Structure 1
Amino acid sequence: MRITIDEDKCVACGQCVVAAPEVFDQREEDGILVLLEANPPADQADAVREAAAVCPALVITVHE
């Protein structure tokens, strides 16, 4: 699994961080998505898929 993000479209809602805090974080200054792990371990796969699904701006792409 590989993850890409489009931070220019991020609306800083933070749902990705709630769903997968080991993979995503937010910048302190503006709340924009920060990708901590572009190739997360298999045990994070379900959380990453959930984060992508709940993102209102659809900025997270999961490449299986």
Structure 2
Amino acid sequence: MFQNKIGYWAEERGIKHKRLAKECGVTTVTISKWINNRTQPDLKQSYILARILGIKIDDLVEEEEE
């Protein structure tokens, strides 16, 4: 669940949606849409998110094992 991971890591790191939006070059509405699974970031934005959140891109996109 890509969107849940963005929200989880942002909260875990204390990173505000405003910062994510600014560094990804999008609006806070777009960040909210990503978190709520209404849209998804493109590849470039995914790499930026991973860098900001201090994680590997794999941590954002890998499916969790059940």
TM tier relative to shorter chain: 0.3 to 0.5
Which one has the bigger helix percentage?
A: 2
Please report the TM-score for the alignment, with normalisation by the length of structure 1: 0.43
Please report the TM-score for the alignment, with normalisation by the length of structure 2: 0.42
* Highest RCO, 1 vs 2 (Cα 8 Å, sep ≥ 6): 1
Which one has the bigger strand percentage?
A: 1
